[in-house]
Structure 1
Amino acid sequence: MKSKKAETKADDKPPIVFPKFDYTVDELLEVSAGGRTLLYDAIGEGKLIARKEGRRTVILHDEYLAYLKSLPAIPPRAPTPVDGEGEGVAP
């Protein structure tokens, strides 16, 4: 008969989860903000590398991250004057 303690230890182990290494275009559309045309345009322009697996078009996880990192960053906004501070206000 197994002890309760031994069963608890085995049950407490988290399951091993492997990351997804590649995505189909449809899978990327579910998790990204872009559309199908945007993805295929990026592929056609060579900005996003896609591969063929039989009839499926797949994008590797690392390639998609590299594509996202290559997009231009939005510059921070200049601080706005607060209550009388800034230009045009006499001290």
Structure 2
Amino acid sequence: MLNFVLPFAIGIFCLALLLCLGRLLRGPSLVDRILALDTLSVNALALLILLGIYFQTTLYFEAALVIAMLGFAGTVVMAKFLSRGDIAE
């Protein structure tokens, strides 16, 4: 059962990445593009975790941890920029 579910889930997350990339490129506003970028990082994180389970290696989990930290920091910086107009105080 696991041999069917993991490739299916990986394919679904690849599709979700493509859809988020489309919203990122044609988003009507800056807020839509920021949300698409945040969703793109979460989907990439989930895809890396699934690939780590599929290939049975811990290297993908470490990469997922780095993407999670960078995605969170990037979202906070972009939200601060939108609310205040600058990043540094």
Task: Report TM bin, short chain.
Answer: under 0.3
Structure holding more helix per residue = 2
Structure holding more strand per residue = 1
Q: Which has the larger radius of gyration?
A: 1
TM-score under structure 2 length normalisation? 0.23
